[in-house]
Structure 1
Amino acid sequence: MITFQNKCPIDLSALTTFGVCVKPATTNPIGYFGTGLKYALAVLLREKQKVTMYHGEMRCTFDTKERNVRGQPFSVVRMNGADLPFTIDLGKNWDLWMAYRELYANMIDEDDAIVADGELPPHTECTTFVVEGDAFEAIYKQHNTIFLGSSPAYELEGLEIHDDPDAGGWLYYKGIRVYKLAKRAMYNYNITSDLKLTEDRTISTLSDAYIAIAKGIAKCDQPALIRQLLQADQRHFESTIDYHWWSVKPGEVFNQIVARYISSGTSFSSSARELYRRDHPEDELPNVIQMETIPMEQRRKLWAALMFWGKLGISIPKALIHVTDGLGQKKGKAISGHIYLSKFVLEMDMRYITGLVYKLYADTKPEIGKVKVEDLLIDT
Structure 2
Amino acid sequence: MLWLSPWLRTLTRVQVDALRAAGHTALVVTTDQHYEKVTARPDERVLDPAIKDPRTLPALARVTAEARRFAPDVVVSELMHDPRWLPMTRLAPLVQVVHDDRPHGADEERPWYRDAVLDHQTRAAAAVVAPSAHVAAVLSARFGRRVDVVPLTSDVPESDLPPVPVPAAERRDVVLLGRMSPYKNVDVALRAWAAHTASPSYAGDRLLLLGDGPLDRMALPEHVEWRRERFTYADVLPVLARAKASLAHYRLATQSGVQVLSMQLGIPTVVSDSGGLPEFAPPDLPPLGIDDVEGLTAVLGKLADPVTAAGLGASAREHYGRHFSADLAASAWTEVFTRMGRR
Q: TM-score range by the shorter chain?
A: under 0.3
Structure 1 or 2, whichever has the larger Rg, is 1
The TM-score normalised by the length of structure 2 is 0.21
Structure number with greater CO (CA < 8 Å, separation at least 6) is 2
TM-score by length of 1: 0.20
Which has the larger share of strand?
1
Structure with the largest fraction of helix: 2
